[in-house]
Structures are given as structure tokens and as C-alpha cells.
Structure 1
Amino acid sequence: MLLKTAGTLLAAALLATGPVQAQMKVGVITSSTGPTAMVGIPQKNTVPLLPARLGDLTVDYITLDDASDPAKSVAAAHKLIDEEHVDAIIGPPGTPNTLAMIPFVAEAGVPLLAPVGSATVVQPMDAQKKWVFKTTQNDDIIAQALVGHMAANGVKTVGFIGLGDAYGENWYKVFSALAADHGLRIVAQERYQRNDSSVTGQTLKLLAARPDAVLVAATGAAAVLPQVTLVDQGYKGRFYQTHGAALPDFLKLGGKKVEGTVLAASLMLVLPEMPDTHPSKPVAQRYIDAYEQRYQTLPATFGANVYDAGLLLQQAAPPAGHAGRPGTPAFRAALRDALEQTHDLVGTQGVYNMTPQDHSGFDARGRELIVVRDGRWKRLP
């Protein structure tokens, strides 16, 4: 009787302390050094702003820097999976880095939330890419807006210069198809590398082709170089940029030489101009306010891609917990399934509706046409 009473008291004491809450581990790979640092730093800075709890689960974020190197991205993924036993990974920002990691996260059965620009990390869907979810707009959504603006503003010929990696190559693939559909002729195309310090040879070829407009398909600081070089060489046509250029440093580095640039990107760039009816406006404002309070500066949209990854996990983790405890294959598989079933989740960048074939889930609410005017981003009507 004494033992039974003691056991009953112990059970009551445990219940009084509340349920035991399992800890979930989330790895975050940033490129906070190296050529992609302008993208990676705001992403690293966003980690302290991610949800401290995912439903009833506490969460531990483990952050590693890959120095913008795909080989180091793979090494970081191995460390997070094999040593830390993470349940999900956020990052890295570079498309080549993410592509290098996909076989390893798929083999381990660990969901990857990729804050990258190119749709190549989730398209075409296959047995490996089903483990990847993208927290930025796909190339085609952005390209449709740019091509539509070109066609409506008298552009007939276009020069293309993009990164010589998966980001630039997929952008050319998507853009060239849309351009043909809209009667636009690509008269020159060139490539360069993220860490190049000069693109004089490539831009001279573009200049000789005399296009009405030039589209630069690059990210971070690398997006500025071809444009300022062409301006210095006397090019007078219109410039277009992808969402890879959507960061404050593009304006700082480009100065007057990026005036008039048109891009399609997140509503965060022009948030005060957005109507209050846009579902993402209050979510984006909360993120901006939290970032500014912590760092005394405004965030780049790339940081918001990581913030949205936290929102996606916050919704997906509770149902995954019914399938198993964090740290188990059952939990990670259920987390993947829950992410794929995301419906009408409002993030900072737009509204997510995932399907088995669409692991980005954005529609037109995830982009705005924007122009650089007087050194600032302004929304185009």
C-alpha cells in the first residue's frame, strides 16, 4: 500500500509540472561570409527572431556558416544530420549550395527549407526534391511580371547577362521562353561568376548588340556589377533585375547608376505603399519591426525568407508530433508531409499554398513590380 501511495504521489507530482515537452532541433546554414554574404548576413541575423516554440515543442536552432562554398554547405549538412540529428534544415541562400545538398538531405529524410531564388531546387519534382521546400518566389512568377512590363513599354530587343551557375541558367531558360511568347527578341546573352571583379568583355558584347533593355539575373552584390559597367560604357537603355537584387546594398553600391531599374520582388521593399488589405502586410511589418529593434537597421527581403521558414515549421510541427517524437524518422517524414499540405499560410513574402508538385506555393500576391526612384524602391502602378 505504501509503495502504491508513493507511486500515485509521484505521478501526481509529474502531472503537476505539466507535460514533458520534447525538443526539436533545426539546423540553419547561412552564407554570412564569402561572395553571398550580403544575402547571408540578414538571414543569419534573422535566426534569433524565429519562433522559440513550435506548438508544444521547444526548438533549438543550430547555425553554421558555409562561407558561400557549396562543398562547405554539404559538410555543414552532414554535421547537422549526423552529429546534431536535426529534424529540419533552413538554408543555405545560394542555389548551387542548395543543389549540392539535396541528395544528402533526401537520403537522410530531413526536410530542407531553401531560401533561394531559382526554382531548380524544387523543379522538376522528383524523389529527392520532394524533401525541399522553397521560401522565395519561383523564377516564372517574377519573370512574368518583368516580361509583361517590357511588352507594355515598347521593349522589342533584350540583352541578357546572368550568373554562370544554376541561378543564371534557369533564369535564362524561363525568361527566353516567356520572351518568345511575348514577341521579345534576345539579341545577346552573357555569363559571369559571383566573385568576378570585372565583366567588361561581356558588357561590351551586350553594348554592341544595342538592345532596348538589359536583364541582369544575379544575386546580392553580383547584381550590381554588370549594370554599373554598362552605364559607364554609355548604355542608355532600360535595366531590369530579378528578385536577387532586392536588398538595400543594391541601392548603396549602385547609387545613381541604378536609377530607373525595374524589378519584381517582395512587397517588403515597398511596404508603406501597399494597401492594408494585402494579407502579408501585417506579417511583414512585424518582422521588420523586430529586426529593426534588434539591429537598428532594416532587413533585406532575404532575411524574411528565413523568417517565413520559421512560420512554415511553426504550422507543420504540431501535426508531425502526432506521428512520432522529434529526432525520429517518423517525425521528420510527417514534418515533410505537413509542409507539403501547407494551405493559405500568410508569410512576409506572400501566401503559401503547397502541393505535391509545387513546393514554393506562391501566387501573384508574392510579387510587386518595383522601380528605383531617387535612390529608393517605389511601387509601380
Structure 2
Amino acid sequence: MRRMNRLVASAIAVMMVFAGGSAAAADTIKIGAFFDLSGPASFIGTPTKLVADMVVDKINQEGGVNGTPIELVVGDTEGDPAKAVNIAKKFIYKDKVAAIIGPTRTGTGMAVKKIIHAGKTPAFMTVGGDPVIMGGPKLGPFDWVFKSPQRSSVAVKRLYMYLKDKGLTRIALLTASDGFGKDGVRWLTRLAPDFGLEIVAQEAFGPKDTDMTAQLTNAKNAGPQALVVWTIGPAGSIVSKNKAQLGIDLPLFQCHGLPDPKYIELAGKASEGDRMPATKLMVVDALPDTDPQKPVIQEFVRLYTDEYGYHRQFPINTHSGYAWDAIMLVAGAMKQAGTRADDLRAAIEQTRGYVGISGVYNLTPEDHNGLDVDSMVVVQVKGGQFVMAE
């Protein structure tokens, strides 16, 4: 079915050529798309690229952008900031793309932020951390950068709302030492007083560490009521397993980057009961019919599973919708304003009420994400799968 979709898209492009009667009609709108297709975060980057293919197929089958098909120019960052910089420069100065989607991780996103700003090319990133859309002397301007996943600050707020509701006021933090983890620490510590929370311990670990028993022991000895972990990838599952091995009887909360069947697979029975903020994609069938996202997410799931069969290799996780939303938002702005860089950037920034997979987006010049806490739910592992948290 996936091959059939691509053939249909190609046929549409050919028909556009003959309909226009000129070579100009054969032009495509190039969008650069770079992700971690190899390296430690390829389990996120590879399915993100597949979703990017899927949404471009859909847009092209429906007539492209005002009659012009989209063409993805794909790059593999390999999780290397230096490679990401080279690819971004290629996209902007050689490929002459109209926009850029990606990359996968906060560190690579920050590495290309200045390049994108200098090249005046709108970029819709699929990274978790906030710095890519934060300004100031240290972080630099973010005029040309947007991102589709929720801000870390929004995820922290959603988690803290849940903790407050459950009467959990003393927490211990265990965070990765990479860019994403440091971004989490920034918001976890800054927002804790707003929710009446006391942080009794802060422990750090390397994102590639394979044992966090020392950090867990220190955290437990501080007497918290709950453990809050901020990382992505296998490290989160290792923390969960180590906690069970140590016999620590405290609730464990992970970040919004870990609602993924892979987390449960790696942590095994230790993950039972673990909770974390997530996109509604993870529990779509539990949403009320009045939720405007429900039919949109259900159609996405149908395409992902029934039409393309991606779920057989990459089960749906909280990251799955990020490239879909990014490309849909860019394409929607192109339909309104065209592909001239300044006009396109302004149109993206003025997007209001786009109902996506990850939330209802309302962007502003100050907020280049456009999602709030109502775009997230808290899920827990129960019976080896994710359900709405009790």
C-alpha cells in the first residue's frame, strides 16, 4: 500500500507537468528533513522520517501545496552536531529548501540554530528541549525556529499538576547530563515552588550510563515521596529496573519523551505503575468524543498501522506525531503565504487553531511551539501497556 501511495503521488506530479504545459510546472517544493537515522537515537529518528514520508504522501495525493508537490530532501545527522551543521548548510545553500524539518535531539537542534537564523530558512524542529525556541544572549534569536513537541516547561507543569493533585510534595530528581536533561532540570527546579513542591535531592547521570543505583540510593536516602526522572532512550528504563532491584518502594515518574512501548520492553515488569506526561496519541481510544484531537489522531493511527504498516517495526509512541504536525503546519502556512522565506516564517508564526496529533497549536511571535498543558495527559504502565493514569 505504501508503494502504491508513492506511485500515486508521482503520477500527480507528472499530470501537473502536462497540465501546465511547461517545465516550470514540474517544480517541487523542497523541504529538508534531517533526523537521527543512525546512532543512539535512531529508534526515534528512523520512524520520524517514515512519518515524514507518510504525511508528504498524503499532502501530494491531495494536490500538493496549491498544485505543487512537496519533495523531501533527507539527511542523517547520526546524532552528531557537527554532521547536523553540515547538513543544514547543504539544505540552505545547495538544495535551496523552502523549509527544514528536524532534527531529533536538543543538542543537534542547538548546533544548527545559528545556521538556520543566518540562512533565514524556517525550521520546524522535532526536538524535546526548549532552548531551540528560547532567546537571549546565551541562546541566540529563535525567529526562524519552531518546534512541534511540547515544551519541556509544559511537560513539567503537566506532571507537577498531577503530583500536586496526588498530594506528593517532596520529590527527588534524577536527570541526564545532556542538553535535554539540563533543560529538564531548568524547569523542574524553577517551577517546583509554583506547585508547592520541595526538591530534596538532585542526582545526575550520563545518558549512556548503564547503572544508576548510586544515584537512586542517594535519592532514596533524602526521604522523597516520589522520584522524577528526566531523560530519553534506554537510560530511563535502566533507572526503572535499578529501582526495582534496590527494592525502592516509591512512585517513579518519567518525562514526556519516554511513553513508548520500547520503555516497557526494556524495563520489563519493573515498569509496572511508572507514570509520565504524554501526548494524547498514547491513549486515543480513552479520549472523550468531544475532544477535537480524537478523530485526527484516529486517522493518523489508521494510516500508520493499516495503510503503511509501520507499527510492525516501530510501534506508535509519543514521538510518532511530531513530524506529521511539523510538516502539516509548514504546508498549511505555504498554502496561505507561498514559499518566500519571510512570508512563510510570518505565516507559520500566525498559525491558530491547527488541530494536530500532539495538540491544538496556537503559535505567536513569543511562543514558537503553541501548545499548553491541555495538550498532554499523564499515562501509566498497567498490564504491560500505557493507560490513563489513575
Q: Is TM-score (shorter-chain normalized) higher than 0.5? A: yes
- Aligned residue in 1 for 2:320: 303
- Which secondary structure does the structure 2 equivalent of 1:302 belong to? coil
Alpha carbons 1:216, 1:227 under 8 Å: kept: no
Q: TM-score, normalised by structure 1?
A: 0.89
Residue 364 of structure 2 is matched in structure 1 by 355
Query: 1 or 2 for the larger relative contact order (CA 8 Å, sep ≥6)?
Result: 1
Percentage of pairs with the same residue: 29
Which residue of structure 1 aligns with residue 353 of structure 2?
A: 344
Q: State the distance in 2 between where 1:296 and 1:94 align.
A: 22
CA–CA separation in structure 2 for the residues paired with 1:284 and 1:15: 35
**Alignment partner, residue 25 of structure 1:** 30
1:108 maps to which of 113, 119, 124: 119
Could you tell me which runs of 5 or more consecutive residues in structure 1 were left unpaired when the two chains were aligned. Answer: 1-12
Deviation at 1:345, TM superposition (A): 0.7
Q: CA separation of 1:20/1:373 partners in 2, compared to 1, >3 Å: closer, same or farther? A: same
Q: Deviations over 1:249-282 (max 9, x none)?
A: 0111112111111211100100110112111111
Provide the secondary structure at the position in 1 that maps to 2:72: strand
The residue correspondences of 1:1-381 to structure 2 (distance < 5 A) are 17=21, 20=25, 22-50=27-55, 51-52=59-60, 53-124=64-135, 128-292=141-305, 293-297=307-311, 298-321=315-338, 326=339, 331-380=340-389
Alpha-carbon offset, residue 158 of structure 1? 0.9
Contact 1:102 1:132 in 2 (8 A): yes
SS of equivalent to 1:256: helix
Aligned partner of residue 81 in structure 1, secondary structure? helix
1:14 Cα deviation after fit = 8.6
Q: How much has 1:34 moved relative to structure 2?
A: 1.5
Q: Deviations over 1:208-266 (max 9, x none)?
A: 22321111111132322222212211211011111110212011111211111121110
Distance 2:333 2:291 in 1: 24
After TM superposition, the structure 1 stretch with the greater mean CA deviation from structure 2, 116-125 or 275-284, is 116-125
Give the distance between the partners of 1:206 and 1:129, measured in 2 at CA: 36
Give the C-alpha shift of residue 21 in structure 1: 6.0
Please state whether the residue corresponding to 1:245 is helix, strand or coil: coil
User: RMSD value over aligned CA atoms?
Assistant: 2.1
22 and 337 in structure 1: CA distance in 2 versus 1, 3 angstrom threshold:
farther
Alignment coverage as a number of residue pairs: 361
Q: Which has the larger radius of gyration?
A: 1
Please report how far the alpha carbon of residue 106 of structure 1 lies from its aligned counterpart in structure 2 after TM superposition: 0.6
Structure 2: how far apart are the matches of 1:77 and 1:303? 23
Pairwise CA distance, 1:144: 1.6
Aligned position for 1:7: none
Which stretches of structure 1, 4 residues or longer, exceed 6 Å deviation after superposition? 13-16
Kindly tell me: are residues 20 and 32 of structure 1, through their superposed partners in 2, closer, same or farther at Cα, counting changes over 3 Å?
A: closer
Deviation, 1:16, is 6.8
Show structure 2 runs of 5+ residues with no match.
1-16
Amino acid at match of 2:33: V
2:380 and 2:152 map into 1 onto residues whose CA distance is 18
Amino acid at match of 1:214: L
2:14 aligns with none
Are 1:158 and 1:214, in contact at CA under 8 Å, matched by a contact in 2?
yes
Q: Deviations over 1:322-347 (max 9, x none)?
A: xxxx5xxxx12211111001010111
What TM-score results when the alignment is normalised by the length of structure 2?
0.87
Q: Which moved more, 1:288-297 or 1:94-103?
A: 288-297
Deviations along 1:265-322, one digit per CA (max 9) or x if unpaired, are 100100110112111111112221111131351422312100111110121112332x
CA distance, structure 1, for counterparts of residue 310 and residue 133 of structure 2: 35
* Larger CA deviation: 196-205 vs 70-79: 196-205
Matched to 1:203, the amino acid is L
